Amino acid sequence: MSSRTAGSRLLEGLVVVEIGTRLAATACGSLMADLGAEVVLVEDKAGPRPERALAAAGKRSLFVDSRDAGDRVVLFRLVDAADVVLLSSDANALDSEIWSRARPERQILCDLTAYGHSGPLAGTAHSEALVQAMAAIADTTGRPDGLPTFTGAPFIDMETAVYGLAAIMAATLVRLRTGIGQRIDMALYDVGVNALLTFIPLVLVDRHATRAGNRHPALATWNAFRALDGWVLICGPTNVQWRKLCTVMDRPALVDAPAFRTPSARVDNVDLLDAHVGAWVAGLTAVRCIELVSAQGIPCGPILPLDAIATEPNLVHRRMVLEASDPLTGLKLRIPGNPIRATGADVPVAKPVPMPDADRSWCLERAGTDTGAVKRVTGDVRLSGRPLEGVRIIEIGMNTVAPLACRQLGALGADVIKVEPPTGDTNRINAPLRADGEAYVYALSNSDKRGIVLDLKQPSDRETLWTLLGTADVVMENLKPGSLHKLGFGAQEVQQRYPSIVYCSVNGFGYDSVYPGRPALDTVIQGMSGAMAATQVDGVPMKAGISISDQLGGQFGLAGTLAALFARETGGTAVHLDIAMQDCSAWATQACWNGQAGAPPVIVAASDRLVAIEGDVSLVPSASTLSAAELVEKARGLGRAAAPILSVKDVMENPQTAARGLLKTVPTADNNEWLVLGSPLKLLSTPAEVRSAMPRLGFVHVELAHELGLPASKTPLTLRA
């Protein structure tokens, strides 16, 4: 079996030139190198970056002076020969020049910027932190009684890198079909707005969507508690879990106490509840507490400090933290492994860091000679169809992870069929609910899909699923490991019958794991991946307000699936992708591993709202007498980048959100309509388009009913909480 067939080099044969200096561009290039592409990192002759090993590992290096005529000839010949070029045009003039110039018709240009190329903020070169301010990421992170908080790791940059990879892979599939490349306009702001999925429903029912600390805004028990030797997360909000937790704590009287008897009562009395749980945890070591709680099947875990990530057993087992020495700077740094892991593929134990090549003959050979025969284009030619038209996806997923991946695949044109059990996706009953009893978060998570209800314990429904699988290209699932295997639909069974199917599994700790069967929730994964340790508020590790681990799991599932489809179409075989949310979340903290994370902006109170300012704010006097807009302008005049800290409601009403098409109202097949999120995948020649929301549970589309021999007029099912 070749390495390509085994799935470790899904992008073998692609040539990528990475010029952009934003972290999103660097991380996207690193992912492509990990997947087998030849990535050439263009570096500035003025001097290497301190974190060069992190940026350059697994790539080739070309040092250039963009002002030198000879260097420019070499660079532009190499750029013209590349399949993919990674840019960040709001950061420097060279990237902007390459974005705008005539290029080979087959080429894919991906520009990763703060706000993209449209809207009133187009071209504004804000940092990740200021985008967090503008996209309400800061306003939804931190203690409810404290200031907005910037995440210590650059999660929006990292999410943009993964979405950028997904968009590039969609464009390569278009190029395979048409021979034509295109430009891609990726914006951190678009990604940040999409990350607000769980907060937008609160605004829609006139509730204030803001910070909840380490608690869940609507569930309890759900918090971080201090043990004798560290921090522990406990997330057990159901009545059954509360009863088991009281048994473990030897507090049986609390089970039926009026303050804690129901889920609503526990939320209403959360301070008292957390005091009881906190007092119990305080008398135990973290390890003992986790042993006791996890034995009852209650999701829990330690909050690992960043320096413990390299020794975390599952991350070690899955080789997610590597070391690399930079021969140029002499520095040894920790660097991440690849979260897109295919079953049976070799997992690298090292990624070499290149020296800059003094001999550029390889570069000129790669570039070849431009005879003028290559057709060149400027701007964007609109191509017919969407990237994934003709591709069928079977989604067997719940909550956020698989639904996120599949709504983006649907926006790219795939025929996504969501398989739900008779009780439905659990998001269908998650508050807040609309007046008709339907859940906002479900609609936001499930656009551009058709649905079918199957009870896989019933032979007839299992046969219906096999019929669907016989027409499918991809299975996307995020159930507990082993659940589908018990029902006869694990990866081995499905690929044995249908070898061409790409099977993508995303779960907390992976199939190949030292924690088989361990339950995982977003907050627990944030704690066990370094994501919480990266953000400290008054010495307390703090989760990101957005569901960063759920989102990254879905995004890597999306990107991995598209890469696997590309590999299948270019001579490889279908693979089983084993993606762990813990891997994805740890990968996203890599900028914090080597002690080089920058200081966050300073938060200053203007007369009407808070403002984030980078640098020395002593140069900005009398802030409280100025409006936020005036303060931002004043800071800019003094050479300080600044941005207002917006709320979720502000973001929803922001002209930039409208200009980028990030919120829109779409119909359902059962004559309803919903406000949903637009796609952040901005392919300019074959745009992703969000066209519909999911209907009620049990509604079967006419075409799907005809295909499967089912009645199309089936009465929608009634959900019970």
Q: HEC states along 139-193?
A: CCCCCCCCCCCCCCCCHHHHHHHHHHHHHHHHHHHHHHHHCCCCEEEEEHHHHHH
Tell me what pLDDT residue 48 has.
Answer: 74
**What sign results for the dihedral spanned by CA atoms 111, 116, 122, 125?**
negative
Per-residue pLDDT band at 355 (split at 50, 70, 90): confident
User: pLDDT: is 355 or 383 the higher one?
Assistant: 383
Q: Using CA atoms of 266, 268, 273, 275 in order, give the dihedral in degrees to the nearest 10.
A: 170
Pairing of β 60-64 and β 103-104: unpaired
pLDDT of residue 666 exceeding 50:
yes
CA gyration radius for the chain?
25
Tokens of 114: 């703060």
pLDDT tens column, 262-308 = 988 998 999 999 999 999 999 999 999 999 999 998 999 999 999 99
Lowest mean pLDDT, pick from 361-370, 573-582, 695-704 = 361-370
Cα of 19 vs its chain's centroid, Å: 23
Tokens of 437: 């009893």
pLDDT tens column, 126-135 = 999 999 999 9
- Please state the CATH superfamily assignment of the domain spanning residues 3-201+363-383 in this structure: Crotonobetainyl-coa:carnitine coa-transferase; domain 1 (3.40.50.10540)
Tell me what pLDDT residue 489 has.
Answer: 97
pLDDT of residue 87 exceeding 60:
yes
Is-same-fold flag (3-201+363-383; 392-590+660-708)? yes
Per the CB < 8 A criterion, the answer to whether 465 and 490 are in contact is no
Pairing of β 474-477 and β 392-396: parallel
Residue 718: Cβ-neighbour burial (10 angstroms; 0-12, 13-18, 19+):
exposed
Q: Which candidate, 556, 520, 679, 592, places its Cα nearest to that of 150?
A: 592
Q: Which candidate, 372, 412, 371, places its Cα nearest to that of 391?
A: 412
Q: Which helix (H) or strand (E) holds 53?
A: helix 52-56
pLDDT tens column, 115-152 = 999 999 999 999 999 999 999 999 999 999 999 999 99
Would you tell me how many other CB atoms lie within 10 Å of the CB of residue 282? 12
Tell me what pLDDT residue 255 has.
Answer: 94
Q: Which candidate, 258, 276, 270, 280, places its Cα nearest to that of 219?
A: 270
Per the CB < 8 A criterion, the answer to whether 18 and 59 are in contact is yes
Q: What is the side-by-side strand order in the sheet with 576-580? A: 450-453, 415-420, 392-396, 474-477, 502-507, 576-580
Cα 376 to Cα 106: distance, rounded to the nearest angstrom: 9
Tokens of 591: 């900028």
Q: Which candidate, 541, 551, 555, places its Cα nearest to that of 301?
A: 541
For the chain, helix, strand, coil in percent to 5 are 35, 15, 45
Give the Å distances, CA to CA, from 455 to 94, 397, 404, 422, 698.
Answer: 56, 14, 23, 6, 12
> At residue 281, what is the residue type?
V
Q: Where are the domains of the chain?
A: 3-201+363-383, 237-298, 392-590+660-708, 601-653
> At residue 228, what is the residue type?
L
pLDDT of residue 717 exceeding 70:
no
Per the CB < 8 A criterion, the answer to whether 42 and 75 are in contact is yes
User: Which letter does DSSP use for residue 234 in this model?
Assistant: E
Q: Among the residues of 284-400, which ranges form H helices? A: 286-294, 313-317, 361-367
Q: Which helix (H) or strand (E) holds 30?
A: helix 23-34
Residue 565, phi-psi category: left (phi > 0), alpha (psi -120 to 50), beta (remainder): alpha
pLDDT tens column, 295-344 = 998 999 999 999 999 999 999 999 999 999 888 888 889 999 999 999 88
Q: Which helix (H) or strand (E) holds 403?
A: helix 401-411
Tell me what pLDDT residue 134 has.
Answer: 98
Q: What is the mean pLDDT of residues 377-405?
A: 95
Tokens of 443: 């609609």
pLDDT tens column, 534-554 = 999 999 999 999 999 999 999
Give the residues across from 15 on adjacent strands.
Answer: 38
> At residue 607, what is the residue type?
S
Per-residue pLDDT band at 622 (split at 50, 70, 90): confident
Task: Tell me the DSSP string of 427-491.
Answer: GGGPSSB-TTS-BHHHHHH-BS-EEEE--TTSHHHHHHHHHHHTT-SEEEE-SSTTHHHHTT-SH
Tell me what pLDDT residue 47 has.
Answer: 75
Task: Report residue 416: phi and psi, to 5°.
Answer: -95, 125
Say how many residues make up the chain: 721
Per the CB < 8 A criterion, the answer to whether 413 and 391 are in contact is yes
Secondary structure of residue 103 in the 3-state scheme:
strand
Tokens of 102: 């005539």
Angle, CA 477 vertex, CA 468 and CA 245 arms, to 5°:
135
* Beta strand segments in 263-316, E: 300-302
Per the CB < 8 A criterion, the answer to whether 23 and 128 are in contact is yes
**What sign results for the dihedral spanned by CA atoms 442, 444, 446, 449?**
positive
Secondary structure of residue 656 in the 3-state scheme:
helix
Tell me what pLDDT residue 713 has.
Answer: 52
Q: Which of 486-508 are b and which e, b meaning 16 or more Cβ less than 10 Å from the residue's Cβ?
A: eeebbbebbbeebeebbbbbbbb
**What sign results for the dihedral spanned by CA atoms 303, 306, 311, 314?**
positive
Tell me what pLDDT residue 366 has.
Answer: 67
The CATH classification of domain 392-590+660-708, taken from the options 3.40.50.10540, 2.40.30.110, 3.90.850.10, 1.20.1440.230: 3.40.50.10540
Q: Which candidate, 590, 50, 21, places its Cα nearest to that of 322?
A: 590
Secondary structure of residue 512 in the 3-state scheme:
coil
Per-residue pLDDT band at 7 (split at 50, 70, 90): low
Tell me what pLDDT residue 540 has.
Answer: 94
Task: Report residue 476: phi and psi, to 5°.
Answer: -120, 120
Per-residue pLDDT band at 499 (split at 50, 70, 90): very high
User: pLDDT: is 615 or 177 the higher one?
Assistant: 177
Per the CB < 8 A criterion, the answer to whether 345 and 3 are in contact is yes
Would you tell me how many other CB atoms lie within 10 Å of the CB of residue 252? 10
> At residue 710, what is the residue type?
L
Cα 56 to Cα 453: distance, rounded to the nearest angstrom: 48
Cα 392 to Cα 410: distance, rounded to the nearest angstrom: 9
Place of tokens 């090292």: 350
Tokens of 142: 């931190």
